[in-house]
């Protein structure tokens, strides 16, 4: 019991929260970037432009089927050989963005697919160009359906950020390791604390996802 009291000192707790902030910061930046890139890729993949959408689709499939950890290693250890030097933070955000963009592109594509074809036909019959149709008619309806899967994707993004501890990103997981590295008695209290922190953030998000799911359907 004494271990728990000692482990949860003010300094340690604030240190963990600093880690949580980094985790959230990296996740949110990556989410925003990959939302933009992923939407763009998803639309291209849907568009069926000869060669282009096929090639984009194949690249998306490759990225989706690689372990994120490998992409993180590649960004941090292999890109410098190509004269691309990224800080730890930039490398983590880039790796997560590349991986998540591919995931979100698939979500966007299936979201667009779920909009009834009559919507496109109606818009086109009323004289909208295909880009106008996509922007004003299809995407707004598709995004509504995509909100629940996007939130689940965000949850896995927050969890996946922990993998970046391997390139020494000072996130929640890493800060916990620093603390229990100094004192072995703190191992169990630290695992408990970070499990609760991850759980609270992610469970809250999943409740929001469920609520949105019920409201939008």
Partner 1 sequence: MINILQNHLSEFISGFGITLLSSVIALVLSLVLGTIFAIMEVVPNKGARVIARIYIEIFRNIPLLVITMFFYVVVTKIFAMSGLTAGTIGLALYTSAFIAETVRAGILAVDSGQMEGARANGLTFWQAMQYIVLPQAFKIVIPPLGNQFINLVKNSSTLAFVAGFDLMYQGNEIASTTFDTINTYIVVGIFYLIITLPLSYYMRYLEKKLA
Shortest spacing between CB 181 and partner 1, in angstroms: 10
Of 1-9, 11-19, 90-98, 159-167, which part binds partner 1 (CB under 8 A)?
159-167
Any contact of residue 18 with partner 1 (CB under 8 A)? no
* Among candidate residues 156, 154, 149, the one with its CA nearest the CA of residue 216: 149
Residues 75-104 touching partner 1, rule: CB under 8 A, are 77-78, 81-82
Q: Which stretch binds partner 1 (CB under 8 A): 33-41, 48-56, 116-124, 160-168?
A: 160-168
H-state helical runs in the chain: 2-7, 10-47, 52-64, 68-73, 88-113, 117-125, 130-132, 139-160, 172-182, 187-216
Q: In angstroms, what is the minimal distance from the CB of 129 to partner 1?
A: 30
Residue 142 touches partner 1, criterion: CB under 8 A: no
Among 64, 90, 121, 211, the residue binding partner 1 under the rule CB under 8 A is: 64
Buried b (16+ CB within 10 A) or exposed e, 131-147: eebbeebbbeebeebbb
Note whether 4 binds partner 1 by CB under 8 A.
no
Residue 67 CB, nearest approach to partner 1 (Å): 4
Task: For residues 207 and 212, give the distance between their C-alpha atoms in angstroms, rounded to a whole number.
Answer: 9
* Cβ–Cβ under 8 Å, residues 195 and 202: no
* Cα 69 to Cα 170: distance, rounded to the nearest angstrom: 16
Per CB under 8 A, 15 contacts partner 1: no
Give the pair of three-digit tokens for residue 135: 């922007």
Q: Output the smallest distance, CB 47 to partner 1, in A.
A: 19
Binding positions for partner 1, rule: CB under 8 A: 61-62, 64-70, 73-74, 77-78, 81-82, 155, 158-163, 165-166, 173, 177, 180, 187-188, 191, 194-195, 198-199, 202-203, 206
């Amino acid at each position: 019991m004494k271990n728990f009291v000692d482990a949860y000192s003010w300094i340690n707790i604030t240190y963990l929260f600093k880690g949580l902030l980094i985790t959230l910061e990296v996740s949110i930046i990556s989410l925003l970037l990959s939302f933009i890139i992923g939407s763009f890729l998803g639309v291209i993949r849907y568009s069926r432009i000869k060669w282009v959408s096929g090639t984009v689709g194949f690249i998306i499939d490759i990225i989706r089927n690689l372990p994120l950890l490998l992409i993180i290693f590649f960004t941090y250890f292999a890109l410098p050989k190509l004269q691309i030097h990224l800080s730890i933070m930039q490398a983590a955000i880039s790796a997560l963005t590349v991986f998540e963009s591919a995931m979100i592109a698939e979500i966007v594509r299936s979201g667009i697919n779920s909009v009834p074809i009559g919507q496109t036909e109606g818009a086109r019959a009323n004289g909208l160009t295909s880009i106008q149709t996509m922007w004003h008619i299809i995407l707004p309806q598709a995004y509504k359906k995509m909100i629940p899967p996007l939130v689940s994707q965000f949850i896995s993004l927050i969890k996946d950020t922990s993998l970046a501890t391997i390139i020494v990103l000072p996130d929640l997981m890493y800060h916990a390791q620093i603390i229990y590295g100094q004192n072995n008695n703190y191992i169990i209290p630290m695992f408990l604390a970070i499990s609760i922190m991850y759980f609270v953030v992610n469970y809250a998000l999943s409740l929001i996802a469920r609520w949105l799911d019920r409201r939008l359907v």
